[in-house]
Amino acid sequence: MAKKKEKETTEDKVETPEQAAPTEQAAPRMQILNQYIRDLSFENVAAQKNSGQQAQPDINVQVNLDARKGQENQYEVIQKLTISATAQEETIFLLEVEYAGLFHIENVPEDQLHPFLMIECPRMLFPFVRRIVRDVTADGGFPPLNVDNIDFVQLYRAELARLTAENQTPN
């Protein structure tokens, strides 16, 4: 009797990614669990003073970022924008918004976590903050303000440079 030759299938030899490269780190993973307005303030100073400014205002945008660790692998990242509009040295309006996101983050090396929290997370939140600013200024009686894109990498580098210079300055 002839022996049947069994076919080899590729399924028998397929290795899972964990078997193939156990030393290779899994890709970073970020999930937005929640996002919300923490604080919002809009002051229409021009209306309160009944000044009816018609001049083109100077817009000043200040951005501050903060991150806090929550439960395991969860971080709250807060973007604070302070926007003031002035004309002829008179304040027209002042808008302050703190917008936060709760992120679940996995597989980010510890030495890369801080830049990840200060660059990637704010980048995900920014379109929502921009819309809030646009809507609030329009609802406040002004033309909608579209905030320009923010380079969070440059903002992070500038903050590191500031902290380094601050630490090198003798007291």
Per-residue pLDDT band at 52 (split at 50, 70, 90): low
**Domain-embedded: residue 14:** no
DSSP type of residue 71? S
Q: How many domains does the chain have?
A: 1
Note the pTM of the prediction, 2 decimals. 0.79
**Domain-embedded: residue 82:** yes
Domain of 77, in residue numbers: 28-162
**Domain-embedded: residue 95:** yes
Which two tokens mark 62? 């200040």
Quick check: helix, strand or coil at residue 144?
Answer: coil
C-alpha dihedral (109, 114, 118, 121), degrees to nearest 10? 40
Q: What is the pLDDT of residues 71-121, one digit of tens each?
A: 999 999 999 999 999 998 889 999 999 999 999 999 999 999 999 999 999
- State residue 10's pLDDT score: 44
**Domain-embedded: residue 3:** no
Question: What CA–CA distance (Å, rounded) separates 143 from 145?
Answer: 6
**Domain-embedded: residue 1:** no
Strands (E), 72-154: 74-87, 90-106
**Domain-embedded: residue 115:** yes
In this predicted structure, the answer to whether residue 54 has a pLDDT above a threshold of 70 is no
